[in-house]
Structure formats: structure tokens, C-alpha cells
Structure 1
Amino acid sequence: MSKTKKGSRVTALVLSLAMLSTFAIGCDKTDNQAQSSGGTTSQSTSSQDASQTESTLNPNINLDSTFPVVKDPVEVEIAVIAALPNTDQNRMWFWKWAEKKTNVTVEPVQIESSAWEERKQLMFATDQLPDAFLHCTFTNAELLSFGQIEGSLIALNDYLDYAPNFKAALEADPLLKANVTAPDGNIYSVPTVMQVSNTKPYRFFVNADWLEKAGMDMPKNLDEFYKVLKYFKENDMNGNGDPNDEIPWSGSWEEGYYERALIINAMGFSTTNSNSVIDPETDTAVYFPLHPKYRDYLKYMNKLWEEGLLDPDIFTQTQVQYQAKAASNLIGAAADSASYIIYPEDYTAFEPIWALSETEGGTPTWPQDAVSSNGSFVITKNAKNPDVLMKWVDMFFTAEGAIRFWNGPEKDSEDDIGSVGAMYNENGQRYHDLPQDINNEWEYNCKVLSPINGRAVGYYSNDAFWTELGLSIPPAAENDAFWQDLYLERNTPYAKPMYPNVFYSEDEQRTINEISMPLEDYVKNMEAKFIIGAESIDSGYDKFIQQIKVLRAEEYQDILISAYETYKSNK
């Protein structure tokens, strides 16, 4: 590319970046930390250690086993989000099965996914609340606002004796306890518990066909990664006769899967995208742009840009535009959700990268999901039977509850109410007899089997649960099993906790709301300028640090530190 064309592209990029109004770096799509909140006025006097003697517990509740929940029938109203349009909760197998197993009749209140945020605010503002919300999304900030401050959500501490499986999970894992405990010591939601083998928060793939053609191994540190990209750039890797159309590293900075995280993790800071990280040497919270390693990160990325190893459109193209390049076999490496998404023609063409270290012989780092995702099940002040609801939700912490919610019944089994169960093909994979109005297995799961909304309270189904129920473990689809097995080998062993989804105090949250947007908008804009060379790192970095301090970055970091220390003290 001529200097004139390169200069024009840089100018265009700078203009595009200046128009960006939202900041995604500190607002990880799977990270609610910037929305977390706290408060000082408690609406409950319950403590984490509160418990009830058996004589004071509700005699209608079965305390001897998971099922049934109650001896005499009870009716409750639970709000759920429809994962897909045109869903009819009355068609759902799960509600029928749960009523048979628990003796609790649930009247589901369906909320369309697109209307959830508006409906949520309206329901709480007008006090038009169901007994509980299942698999709806509540940030930590909302849990504190609706719970601790307003009292619309009840504290669950005094009901833990009705949920022995959830209580046991809290006692077994100090991190889980810390994650769900609010600043006032109360628990306002039953979470989704993340299991390492089931979660893959960050995925980055390298073109294995190109590596084989180059005679190179999958890189394991930043220098090896650079050399791989360099080779991809300088050779006709796709064999189309044009040695100049290869794009070593592509993606969509705005819409994609957090390309920058690969390099930040290699430097020891576990993250999927957020600038709120944990210093691996001190176990202290850090705002990454204030750390000296941030400059090293910028220098490395700028080197890739200057040598043409980054897609020149990476800051401006959409996910669809990047994937069109990938489908044309032009891409050497990218972050994405699965190998077959990058190159649909051959799902084995791209393989998960090894977790990288900064230097040869260094310690690799990969992000590990938070131990839990809060807000998956909450009970409101309008509930007449909160004890029954706690006992009911406890089934999701058992093998039977998790497997049945996520996978439904087997065909013609005693649980197969309505003949909707799964059959097995010759490869041991489950499949269903799809009705005419259902197009695929995922739609069947969401519209016929269970009110799945991409998350579930309690545990996900896992291999141990299948075995516990005496069922064959269904294999993953071949295209998923290919990359997932490699991921578990190359990434999972090096997973380290990210900055957790902490609760902030009310004052801390107020300050974060004031600081975060202008600070992180500025950081994002300047980061892109440093990478593409529109701003010199050598001459402009000190000025950048001065400016983020003016924008109260140090105060922001102090809040991260304080909240993280509180989180650790709750273990």
C-alpha cells in the first residue's frame, strides 16, 4: 500500500473513531460490574448465618427430599422471558413436569425479550409484581436498588434452610458466597452457577490449514504469534495465486468477540474485554490503562498494525463484513464463537489457539468465567409463599432438575408428559420429532420443552449429572466437539479469575456512573489512535496518562480496589 493510501486510511479511521459514542472496552457484554450497586439502608435484618429450627419451618414443605416440594398443592406466579417470539408458555413441557414433581402449580407470566427492560422498570415502579422472576436478568445494581434500598425484592438468607442444595453450594464454595452476598450481608437472588467445563468465555482461533502449509506450530507466546501472523502476511496461504490478499488477523472491534483480550491475557491480566482487571502479582484490582503493561500492550498492537498484520478495517467493519472475508478463506486468525462460524465450509480449518504467555517459558493466562451470574431467580415482596418458592428453586441445584430443564425427558419415559421426549440416533445424539411449526432443535427446546433464555438458575446440565441419573452422556455435535475438545486442552487449564461481578456501595455506584462513560470513551478513542499510529505512543503516552487522571481514573481504580477487597472478605 502506498504512503498516500495508508495515510488516507488512517485519517478515515480517526474520523470514524471520533464519531463513536459508546464505550465497549470497560463494558464487557458478559460483565455487569459497571452496573453493580450497593447501599447503606437495609430493608432486612436477616444475616447470612440466620437459620430456623425444624419446628419453625413450614410443615407443608417436604424437608426430606427434593420432590415433592409441598404436601398440599400450592399455586405461585412466576415471570419468565420468552427466548423466542411466538412462544406459548402453556405449551411448555417443563411446567407440566414441574407441577407433577413438586406439587406446585406455576402460573407463568410471559415477557417478550425485546420488552423486558421497559417492562421490568414499569412493574417495579407500579408494584405490579409476580411472586418471583425466573431466568430474567437483574444486574447487581438492580438487586441492590430493588432489594436493599426499595425492599421490592426480599432477602433470601432466612429461607436457606428450605434450599439445602443451594445452601450446600454456598458452604462448599467461598467464591460463590462472596459473589452473591450484597454489602449489607444479604442475598437477594439465587444465581446461575458457572462450571469451568461448561463455560468458554473467550474464544480465539487460528487457521490450522495455513499453519500446516507453513510448517509452523500453534503459537504459545506473543513472539510466536507475531511470527505466525508475519508468515501469513508474506505468503500465498490460501493458494489463490494472489500473495497480497491474506489478512493475518481480522475481526470487528465494535461488534465482535473482543479481539484485544488475547494480548491482554498474554500479559497476565485475565479479561474478556474489560479494563477492570486483577494484577496477577499483587492480587489487587487495577484499571488497566493506569498499569505500565498497558503501554506494552499498545506497542505490541501498534507493531502489528504498522506491519500490516491487523485487518485495516478491524476498527470500522461489522461482524457480517468480517465473516464474509473469513468465508472467502482470507483470514488467518480471529476471535469468534466457534470454528465453523469463521469458516463454514470446513469446521476443522480453524483451531483454538493455545493460551498465550508474554514470553517464552512464561505463564499463560486465559479468562475464567465468574463463579456465578447473579439475578437468575428473585422473590418479590408480593410472594405469599416465599418459603415454597425457595424449596421449589432448589431443584435446579440437583442432577434431575438441571438435566430436565435443559434437556427435557426421554421418549416414552415416565417424565414424557405429552410425548415430547428425545430419541437417540446411531451416534448417541438426542433428537426430537419436530412439529410443523418448529424449525430446529433449539427452537424446540425454547418453545416446547423449557423456558430457556440463554441462562438457568442453579447448575447447567453436565456429564456427571447424566451419569448420576443413569443416562448415556449425549455427545456434542461433531462440529462443536472438534473445537471444544481442543479448547479444554489448550485454554481451560490456564484459566484465571477475572475481576468479579462485585457489588458496589450506593455511593461508589454513584461515583462510577459519573466517571465511567467520559473516562472510557476517551480511553477507547485514544487506544485506537495509538494502535493505528494516529497518535504517537512515544510522544503522546504521558499526556494520555495525565488526561485520564484528570478524568478521575485513579478514583475509579480506588473504587475497584475497595469493592474487590470487600468481595474477598465475604468469602
Structure 2
Amino acid sequence: MKRKRAMKLVLACALTTAVLSGCSSGGGKGAGEGAEAKGVNATGFPIVQEPVTVNAFAAKFFANADWNKLKLWQEYEKKTNIHINWETVQKDALKEKRNLLMASSGYPDLFYASAFSKSDLFKYGKQGVFLPLNEYIDQYAPNLKALMEKYPVIKKGITMPDGKIYSLPTLYDPEFRSVFFNTPWVKTEWLTKLGLKEPTNLDEFAAMLKAFKQGDPNGNGKPDEIAWGGVGTTGIVGYLRGSFGLGNHGNANQYVDTEPGSGKIRFVPADPRYKEMLEYIHKLYKDGLLEQDIASVKSEEIDAKGTAGLLGIVDNVDPAAIYNQKGYAGLPVLKGPHGDQLYTYIGSPLGNIGMFILTDKAKNPAAMVRWMDYFYGEEGIKMFFMGWKDDTYKEESDGTVDYVDAIKNNKDGLSLDQAVSQYLIWPGGYYPGFVKQAYFKGAEGLPTSVENSKKADPHVLKPEEIWPAFNFTTEEQQELTTLANDIETYVTEMRDKFIVGDAPMSQWDDYVATLNKMGLDRYKQIYQAALDRYSKSS
């Protein structure tokens, strides 16, 4: 959550209210479920009558304190009667350690913040190693169940092809609009100095960039301004694709949407409109209006330019949060050459869905689903992100909250993330639970970010149009992994080459022919099967 680029993938959803057809549909039970549920209080605290100990494995960020001594878990143990014996690993070493645990059968009762892939969820679920949670959700997770009923996309996104739910996710409140937006930020001071208005279409956008590049808006007499500054070409492609009618179901399935009219899967990077967009971006690059090392520049290089105030457009979160540069506003959604004016660079409310998993070693799954469900409800969300009133946060008469001064202005020189991490685990954005604007204090929650999202609202995809990342069967995933590795790597490579001119657009037909030889038709068929299941699911 510290960098918007880290969450591309992320976010928006179906906001229509629907009646969920029962979480128990297609569900299964862990071994001895009836016995496991004994001693579990259906509501209130403690969760269990007699204290229990659960072995858990989790990934954490460097700033987090020892989880076995962390106040969050100590206080929650007092409420629940459930003691967690935490084994943690730094996030960078997660994959290796997680795979070793699974290979050796030395895995724990619970995996928390362990980011299992969808293919692993399905594989270990089918093997019986990961427990199906459908019926436990139905009986012991009223907070999550309510969210699933309100936002049907959640259930669709966490249900595997066999109809079972093997994990609980990170969720982003669909009402927290700014957390879903990736629109770039424009330096309004430069617009004012050059007598420009915010652009409304592609021609005005190019003219603005040209003025930034040539008009010396920082007034130092040097041509050191960078009109568009960003790491990689993903940002500008994402920002502009809706202006070309591309990405009509959001960003969670990055390379596919549906063909207008037929509703069938379309591979976006082979569409003529995509070619047209790359031609436009290439002209911007050729005219010197984009960072000239955009395909290879390192983030620290862009950060240095941003901190120095040299970027007319910042392709990241609010520069006030990362560069201490105020006076930027979100760019408007631009009208394209065919009249399209859509904001499609937006994901679903589902973050990683493999963040809370109970294994076949779990002695009381019902209790642990109740344990996790607290953090999908208002009281638990507030504790998870803010801690405890008058200890870690203060609350105003209107109900707004903020951290106490000892955290915001730490006497030991700790950053906010570091100070918060002495009590809580959310910094770094690696956890299951529900992210709400009222309690999230990252860059996406700043007032400027909220206003930015409101500006784009009239042109955003309808919530029901936005897909979560699709789930695949084991066989589909195995085949898709091989196909996607070749196809998507080639797409990225050629996208950059077309933009910077290392490959002329006259090679477009050869590029499409190569994609077809790589198995593009089969790639699309697999996605079509996943879309068909998604469309039919309740």
C-alpha cells in the first residue's frame, strides 16, 4: 500500500446489492467438524471457553516487531482465549520458506499473510491439505458473509472452480474510491504559469506536455523539466487505454477484456485500438515529452527527480506523500479519437485472496474463522489499523481518528510505518482483512487522493462491469502458465520497443502473427472458460 504501482492490480467491484445464495453451496467440512465446533461461542467474546493454542506461519515486513510479543496479538488473545504461536519470515524470503513447509509436511494449523497463489489454493484444497471454509463462513463469519452478500464479486472472486472457498482475502472497501485509482498527478503551478487548463482530450494532453518541456515552467532557465516522469511504460498505457476503448472490465485480468458487441474474450494487446494507442504514445516519446529512459529507468532515479520538483506529471501516488511536493492534482480522464472517455485502469476490491488458510492440522476451524472474521467488521478493522484509543490513537468529537503524537512524531526518529509497527502489522500492506478509508492512513487516504478519485468518477466503469482476477482449474492453470509466460513476456517486450522506437509500427502484423504462433487462441479459450464460470456463478 506504500506505492500505488505495487497494487496495480488492484481493485473496484460490483456495488450492486444482491442476495447471496448461501455460503454453504458447494462447500465441504474439515475432518470431524462437529467435534471441532464444540466450545465455540457463536457470538461475542471469548471465542472459545477454554484457552487454546494455534500454530501459525506468516510473512511480515522488516519494521514489524516480534509478533509473539506484539500488542495487537496480545490484546486480541485476551478477548478471544486463543493464543497464536507465530512463526514469521521476512516477506522477501516468504516463497522459499512457504514452499519448504509444504514440501516437508511441516506446515502449521494456519497460514496468515502468506500470499498463496490461486493455483496452489486449488491444488492443496483438492488434496485436502487446505480446508474448505464455505460452511464455516456461513455459520461463524457474519461480517464477511455480510460483505459477500453486499458485494457479490467477493464470493465470485474467492470461490475456486470446484465451488469451494479455501482462503480468506484482503478486501478494499468499494466505497474507498481513491484506493482503486491510478491516475497520474499534474503540477498545477506549471499549468498556471504557462496559462494552461487541465487537458480534456489527447491533443490537449500532448500540447500540455510540450509546454512543460519547452516553456521553462520552473523558471530556472534550464531545460531540466521532465514532462511525464514514471518508472516503466505500464502507467501511461494504463492511463490512456480507456481513451481508446480498451480495458472495459478493469485491470485485474490485465491483458483481456470483452469484444464490444459479442461479449467474447478479447486479447487487448493484439487489438487495432491498442496499436493506435501505442502509435500515439510513441509520438509523445519521440517528441521528448516522456522520460527518455522510461523503459529502463530505476525508481530511485525518478524519485530523485520528483523530490527536486522536476516532474510535470508524476505516475505514482500523491507527490506530497512520497516527494514532499505539494500542489499536484489528479489528471482528468481524456476523451479519445473515437469518443471514448473511460477510466479503466482500475482493479477489483480483492487483493491477494490467499492470505488466511486453515490446514488439515487445524483442531478448531470454526473458532479460527470467527477469529479472522472480527477483522472484517467495524470494531476489528478499527483495532487492526488504529490500535487503542488514547494509547495509539485519539478520537475527535466527530468520530474521526488519528495517531497520537508519539507515533506521528516519534522521539526516536522512527517513520510512521516503523512507529506503528511497534504495535500493529498493517504497514507494508500484507494482511487479510478489510481496508476502510476512515482508518487507513496511507497516501491513498489523503484528502487530495479522495478528491482525485471524485474527478474521475463520471467516467469510471460501472461497478458491475469490473472483474476480479479469474480462477482457473488445475489443468487450465498449468496450461495457461506456460502460454502466459511466453505471450505476456513478448507483449511487454514489444510494447516498450514500439513506444521507444526500437521496433517500428510497420512490424505490427508480424507481432500479431507471432502471438498467434505462441498459442494466443488457446490462451483466449482458457480465459473464456473462466469468464463463463464467473458469469454463471451466483
Distance in 2 separating the partners of 1:360 and 1:129: 54
The aligned counterpart of 1:527 is 495
Any conservation in 1 of the 2:381–2:435 contact (CA below 8 Å)? yes
Distance in 1 separating the partners of 2:29 and 2:68: 37
Distance in 2 separating the partners of 1:441 and 1:250: 27
Going from structure 1 to structure 2, the CA distance change for 1:195 and 1:285 (only over 3 Å counts) comes to farther
The aligned counterpart of 1:157 is 134
The aligned counterpart of 1:290 is 270
Q: Which runs of 5+ in 1 are unaligned?
A: 1-26, 34-45, 412-419, 467-473
Distance in 2 separating the partners of 1:268 and 1:309: 23
Any conservation in 1 of the 2:51–2:82 contact (CA below 8 Å)? yes
The aligned counterpart of 2:180 is 200
Give the match's secondary structure for 2:169.
strand
Give the match's secondary structure for 1:332.
strand
Shift of 1:359: 4.5
Any conservation in 1 of the 2:259–2:265 contact (CA below 8 Å)? no
Any conservation in 1 of the 2:63–2:421 contact (CA below 8 Å)? no
Q: What stretches of structure 1 move > 6 A for 4+ residues in a row?
A: 49-52, 54-57, 424-428, 435-438, 477-480
Shift of 1:558: 2.0
> 1:148-170 CA deviation, whole Å, 9 max, x = no partner?
2x322111123121222222322
> 1:346-375 CA deviation, whole Å, 9 max, x = no partner?
312x21112233249643214333132201
Any conservation in 2 of the 1:277–1:498 contact (CA below 8 Å)? no
- Give the length in aligned residue pairs: 506
1:544 aligns with 2:511: yes
Going from structure 1 to structure 2, the CA distance change for 1:262 and 1:72 (only over 3 Å counts) comes to same
Distance in 2 separating the partners of 1:28 and 1:409: 29
Highest Rg: 1 or 2? 1
1:430 aligns with 2:410: no
Distance in 1 separating the partners of 2:287 and 2:344: 26
> 1:236-266 CA deviation, whole Å, 9 max, x = no partner?
2211123x43322122217xx7332111132
Shift of 1:304: 1.0
- What is the aligned counterpart of 2:221 among 221, 230, 241? 241
Distance in 2 separating the partners of 1:322 and 1:178: 38
Give the match's secondary structure for 1:429.
strand
Give the match's secondary structure for 2:279.
helix
Any conservation in 1 of the 2:231–2:296 contact (CA below 8 Å)? yes
The aligned counterpart of 2:468 is 500
Amino acid at match of 2:68: N
The aligned counterpart of 1:83 is 61
Going from structure 1 to structure 2, the CA distance change for 1:485 and 1:58 (only over 3 Å counts) comes to closer
1:23-422 alignment, distance < 5 Å: 30-31=8-9, 47-48=25-26, 58-63=37-42, 65-84=43-62, 87-148=65-126, 150-160=127-137, 161-198=139-176, 199-242=179-222, 244-253=223-232, 258-270=235-247, 271=250, 275-279=254-258, 281-282=260-261, 283-340=263-320, 343-344=323-324, 346-348=325-327, 350-359=328-337, 362-373=340-351, 374-411=353-390, 420-422=391-393
Shift of 1:562: 1.8
Shift of 1:180: 0.6
Name the stretch that deviates more: 546-555 or 70-79: 70-79
Distance in 2 separating the partners of 1:534 and 1:273: 29
Going from structure 1 to structure 2, the CA distance change for 1:566 and 1:362 (only over 3 Å counts) comes to same
Name the stretch that deviates more: 282-291 or 386-395: 282-291
Amino acid at match of 1:486: E
Going from structure 1 to structure 2, the CA distance change for 1:128 and 1:32 (only over 3 Å counts) comes to farther
Any conservation in 2 of the 1:252–1:315 contact (CA below 8 Å)? yes
Amino acid at match of 1:306: K
Going from structure 1 to structure 2, the CA distance change for 1:58 and 1:152 (only over 3 Å counts) comes to closer
Distance in 1 separating the partners of 2:428 and 2:504: 46
Any conservation in 2 of the 1:277–1:499 contact (CA below 8 Å)? no
Amino acid at match of 1:69: I
User: RMSD over aligned Cα, in angstroms?
Assistant: 3.2
Amino acid at match of 2:431: A
> 1:67-97 CA deviation, whole Å, 9 max, x = no partner?
3312333222222222225721233111122
Shift of 1:390: 1.1
Shift of 1:31: 4.1
The aligned counterpart of 1:12 is none
Give the match's secondary structure for 2:292.
coil
Shift of 1:272: 5.2
Give the match's secondary structure for 1:378.
strand
Distance in 2 separating the partners of 1:108 and 1:317: 39
Distance in 2 separating the partners of 1:458 and 1:28: 18
Going from structure 1 to structure 2, the CA distance change for 1:365 and 1:461 (only over 3 Å counts) comes to closer
The aligned counterpart of 2:454 is 489
The aligned counterpart of 1:19 is none
Normalised to the residue count of structure 2, the TM-score between the two structures is 0.85
Distance in 2 separating the partners of 1:491 and 1:519: 32
> 1:389-421 CA deviation, whole Å, 9 max, x = no partner?
11211111211111101110012xxxxxxxx43
> 1:426-481 CA deviation, whole Å, 9 max, x = no partner?
99632253587671332132232346551332312443xx7xxxxxxx9x699963
1:457 aligns with 2:432: yes
Going from structure 1 to structure 2, the CA distance change for 1:273 and 1:100 (only over 3 Å counts) comes to closer
The aligned counterpart of 2:477 is 509
- What is the aligned counterpart of 2:526 among 550, 553, 559? 559
Distance in 1 separating the partners of 2:275 and 2:27: 46
Shift of 1:28: 8.2
Distance in 2 separating the partners of 1:565 and 1:223: 39
Give the match's secondary structure for 1:511.
helix
Name the stretch that deviates more: 176-185 or 133-142: 133-142
Name the stretch that deviates more: 257-266 or 176-185: 257-266
Q: Which runs of 5+ in 2 are unaligned?
A: 12-23
Give the match's secondary structure for 1:238.
coil
Amino acid at match of 1:501: A
